[in-house]
Structure 1
Amino acid sequence: MGEKIISASGRPTIDHAGPEAVAEAGALARAWQARSLLVRYPRAIPAAIFLAIAAITALSVYAIETNAKQSSRAEVRDYAQSIASALERRGNNFSSYLRAGAALFASIDEVSPQTFSQFVAELRLDQNYRGAEGIGWIEVIEPGSSTAYLARVRASQPDFPDIRPPASQAGEVIAPVTYFSPDTSRNRRALGFDMYSEPVRAAAMEEARRTVMPTASGRIVLAQEGAGEAPGFAIFMPVYRSVPQSPTQDRALAGYIFSSFNAGQFLDEAIERSPPTELGVRLYDTETDNRHLLVSRSTGAAGTDRFELPVNIANRDLVLVIDSADVRGLAPLSMVTLMFGISLASLLMLILRLLARQAREDEERIAFFEEQNSIRNSLSQELNHRVKNTLANVLSIMSLTRRRASGLDDFADSLEGRVRALSATHDLLTGTDWGTTPIRSVIEAELSHIVSGDAAELVLEGPAVELAPNDALSFGLAIHELATNAAKFGALSVAGGMVSIRWSLESDCLAKVEWSESGGPLVQAARQRGFGTDLIEKIVAHELKHKVELDFRPEGVRCVICVPVRRRSEFQMRKVPAKGQGL
């Protein structure tokens, strides 16, 4: 099995790793890489995820809308086909009945009102075939026989009108409407109307006579409409009778059986069901322009999709046009998809932003822990170094004190005083977090245990100078030894004695301290060298790296000590962060 190691930076590493540890470390490395990307690009990655999901959502909505439009077009196409089929079916039905009527009327010598009424009654036109004005009979006569025609017809229909237009405006043949069913006041307007007098009707009748088939006319205004403008059309079927004993022809045109249609009603009856969407429905005669428009129906605003279907009514080509309305807005499924996509993208973006913030905080926390660990290591090393230095100083002091002590009590008192001097300076350094310590504070701390009351006069004078921690310890020991000697043998041992301690800056990196005693007992020229002298001239001079001038003058001891003034960067373990900044 391998051993997994997490580095100080929080990144996974492996040492003597087996397969399982390698796989786990790889997964951790990938996870760390992903978190690092979130930290490096806290806005770009969430925005990219949002845009990617938004693009997928847009493509989904586009696909749904495209499919919906195709489905709608298919529905409209099917709907248009159903209308076209219904129109042709109705046209074919009426053509069939006109054929049957033509066959019946061709077999008799004269179409009487009774015969016509019986034929129409059998058709049950009012019940089965909506959309047509009815069925009529047109008798073809010569222009000179119009008077005899009117007399014969008025014998059965006393209120039959005159032929119109007048015979003087008629052509070679007159074809007035003789009968029309159902018999209504509106349909009576068509009686007596000469169909050959109107070119469109005449053209359709001539085509029917030529082909002997039901033939629809072009766009006309029905005679029933009077002054109305509602367009329509008519279907004509010729009726021929045999001519016995005729050397030139075997049959003659007796007339036409026809059916007229109001185009609007004819189209409305073909529209059996509601449209699938908003549509525009138009029916044209042969060409799709306004001159040939038969009828227009709209169930909504005109749209962009246009369908044209040919419709054949009694051998005449009509055009059915369907305009599907432009449906505004999205389909319900598209709206649901869009809302879901936007919600999901927003949620993921929010989650990624939170993860990015958490990753950034974790990285800052790891960096903080790394720095704290480095500081802790530095503090441990510094503390170990300072403890060793302090213990070395204590051992040296003990060794030298033991050599100079006259007895156990003297040894204990001397050692205690010197340890107190170290302790006093340590207290000062602790109070400043082992930063710089004012030189005045070191002097006052060492003198406070020796000088009390008004037994002597002290003069402390000098500029503000800050000492490094180790320099302050060594300087404090020197001041302690000088003060102890002055208290025992010098100016501090008698009333009226004075100790003057003055310091000045020799340069930016060196301070000069002068200890001067006066007013005390005379200093003997012949004296025994003590521990204090050795401590100041050897240990203190060595620690401060400058020679100490110690002069035992008759009027009092004079000592000059040079103390280094160091820059903070020369002894501090780490920079103190500025206010408002983190570690």
Structure 2
Amino acid sequence: MKKIHPIAAFVAVALISLAMAGYAYFATQEAARIKFVAAVNDAQDRIESRMELHLSLLRATKALFESQDGDVSPSEYAAFYKALDVSDHFAGLHGIGFIRVVKAGEEAAVERELTDNLGGDRKVHPPSSLPQRAITVLVEPHDGYSDPVIGFDMMVDPARREAIEQALDDNGVHATGRVLMGDKTGASRNFAGFLVFTRLTRQAASDLPGTGLVYNAFRAEDLFQTALAKTPLLPVSVEVYDGDVGDDSLMFRSETPPASPLAESLATVRKFTMAGRQWTVLFRPTSAFASPSSRAVPLLLGLFGLMLAGAIALFLRYQQKALEAASTLHETTEKSLLEKELMLQEMKHRIKNSIARVLAIARQTAAQADDIGQFSSSFSARLQAMAASQDMLTRSRWQKADLGDLLRIELGQVFGKELPEDLLDGPQVLLDETTTQALGLTFHELATNALKYGKVGSLVSSLRIRWRLEGRSRSRALALDWHETGQADLQSPSGTGFGTKLIDLNIVRELGGEISRDYRPDGLKVRIRIPLPGNPAV
């Protein structure tokens, strides 16, 4: 449990620091949002104030025509327009005009009025099959651009017609949706704009047909740039849409692009009604917008907190290591003494086992030997087989011995060191101490019998040993085939010698395995199968 104290301290301090950094970050974000909202409010106020100024001009023009019963001469209208000083006080205005709304068939009276007031042969255009005509009679500024507008029937345009019909119904002020207007320099390009209409509340003179309307025409780019150009300049990018956001409804977009990615996080959408028309205005910050507090503060605060948490955790860890070192030294001393005692006990046990095995081999060898020479030879060979197994285990520090190496050592003692390459074939299998000693004696006895009774001898090429692993996990077993060939008229022995008994004792009783012998006319085939504890395969 003590090991988790530095981790717990680190996590606790880090969480507190990150919480403080997060709070600072959100506070920075909120401060930036509040500052930007203030800039948005200022931009919206500028747009609304500019439009209100132009609507006041529209109302003043309406009052002029109502005072004259809708009968204002072009010269009087030009003088009125000049007195307004539009270029200085009403920047963004594209034009201001007067319309007569007459029934279809009354166009001739309007054409006579246009000819009398402006001269020339004036015609109402374009042709229309609608029941009403909304004909432009006067427009200022009256120049080369506006001259084609004289006599133009605004009813033919759906956007203009909708606003005109609304103005005729309720005497209110109504703006059109997005319309395209020509350039004053020659109408070579079209620009997005809109018009605002209002109806005269007093009837026109008896000799003038129809109802009168006054209107303001705005080129959206001029209007909004004028409204937003007031100093100080705002760090705001503006997009104005008629109704919902869409390419077809875009009326204005600031020339200064928004700053990304800050633009999307602070983007603000406002919807407000202007002259009976709903506008959607999208505000984004530009690169000139500066957050009231540095964004590096939360990052630095978080890094400082993590460094502090790391320092505290390291201090606690070093303190623990000092205590652990003292404790480990004490435990190591006690463990060393215990290990020495265990090693002595283990050595005693192994020595007893080895002596018991040697005595058993000596007794059985003596019982089977005809004379002292045969006893000495057989007993010496068996002791060498045990010694070889012990030597392999000693080299591996009594851990594991390789099956292939064990076979090469035992067969080399009987047949010589030069063994054929194809004599052995099988996967790598690591054997524990008990299995190594038992199989070492077994292989020695099989090799001795092959040399003694068969025709293997120096012709060791007639011997083949193959092994494989069977089963999985804890049910794994080693299956080994010992196959001698080249013999003639081989028959099963009538009795059981000590070598056979020793082999059966090792395989069946010591290792809990199985062994079968198949005496064939051309040789002997021995099959051994023993369980392998754990996972001996590598």
Give TM-score, length-normalised by structure 2: 0.50
Q: Label 1:244 to 1:324 Cα distance change in 2 as closer, same or farther (>3 A).
A: closer
In the TM superposition, residue 203 of structure 1 has moved relative to its aligned partner by 1.8
Deviation, structure 1 residue 104: 1.2
Provide the residue aligned with 2:81 in structure 1.
Answer: 120
Match for residue 174 of structure 1? 133
CA-to-partner distance for each residue in 1:434-470, whole Å, 9 max, x for gaps?
xxxxxxxxxxxxxxxxxxxxxxxxxxxxxxxxxxxxx
Which residues of structure 2 form unaligned runs of 5+?
335-538
Q: Deviations over 1:298-331 (max 9, x none)?
A: 4234625654323221122222233579999x91
Counterpart-to-counterpart distance in 1, 2:224 and 2:96: 18
Equivalent residue number for residue 50 of structure 1: 10
Task: State the distance in 2 between where 1:85 and 1:99 align.
Answer: 21
Equivalent of residue 257 in structure 1, options 210, 214, 220: 214
| Corresponding residue number in structure 1 for 2:163 | 204
Within a 5 Å distance, the mapping from 1:74-473 to structure 2 comes to 74-108=34-68, 110-140=71-101, 146=107, 149-150=110-111, 152-153=113-114, 157=118, 162-166=123-127, 169=128, 171-188=130-147, 190-222=149-181, 226=187, 228-242=189-203, 253-271=210-228, 272=230, 274=233, 281-297=238-254, 298-301=257-260, 303=264, 307-322=268-283, 331-357=295-321
The CA RMSD measured in Å over matched residues stands at 4.1
1:193/1:223 contact within 8 Å kept: no
The one-letter code sitting in structure 2 at the alignment partner of 1:264 is E
CA distance in 2: counterparts of 1:307 and 1:363, whole angstroms: 65
How far the C-alpha of 1:220 sits from its partner, in A, is 1.6
> CA 1:253 to 1:65, structure 2 compared with 1: closer, same or farther past 3 Å?
farther
Contact 1:125–1:134 (CA under 8 A) maintained in structure 2: no
Q: CA 1:157 to 1:245, structure 2 compared with 1: closer, same or farther past 3 Å?
A: closer
CA contact (8 A) 2:204 2:210 kept: no
Q: 1:245 to 1:108 in 2, by over 3 A?
A: closer
Deviates more, 1:70-79 or 1:114-123: 70-79
Q: Distance in 2 between matches of 1:355 and 1:160?
A: 106
Report the TM-score when normalising by structure 1.
0.47
State how far apart, in whole Å, the 2-side matches of 1:213 and 1:135 are. 17
Give CA deviations for 1:547-571 in whole Å, capped at 9, x if unaligned. Answer: xxxxxxxxxxxxxxxxxxxxxxxxx
The Cα shift of 1:57 comes to 1.8
2:135 touches 2:151 (CA, 8 Å); kept in 1? yes
The alignment of Structure 1 onto Structure 2 pairs a total of residues equal to 321
State the identity as a percent.
Answer: 22
Residues 136 and 178 in structure 1, CA contact (< 8 A), matched pair in contact too = yes
- The Cα shift of 1:127 comes to 0.9
Gaps of 5+ in 1: 1-36, 372-583
Contact map agreement 2:46 2:227 (CA 8 A) in 1:
yes
SS at match of 2:26: helix
- Provide the rounded CA distance (Å) in 1 between the counterparts of 2:148 and 2:123: 11
Deviations 1:513-566 (A, max 9, x none): xxxxxxxxxxxxxxxxxxxxxxxxxxxxxxxxxxxxxxxxxxxxxxxxxxxxxx
Aligned residue type for 1:317: Q
Structure 1 residues 245 and 199: CA distance shift in structure 2, 3 A:
closer
SS in 1 for 2:93: coil
State the partner residue of 1:59. Answer: 19
For the Cα contact (< 8 Å) 1:240–1:253, is it kept in 2?
Answer: no
Distance 1:265 1:215 in 2: 20
Q: 2: CA distance between counterparts of 1:281 and 1:80?
A: 9
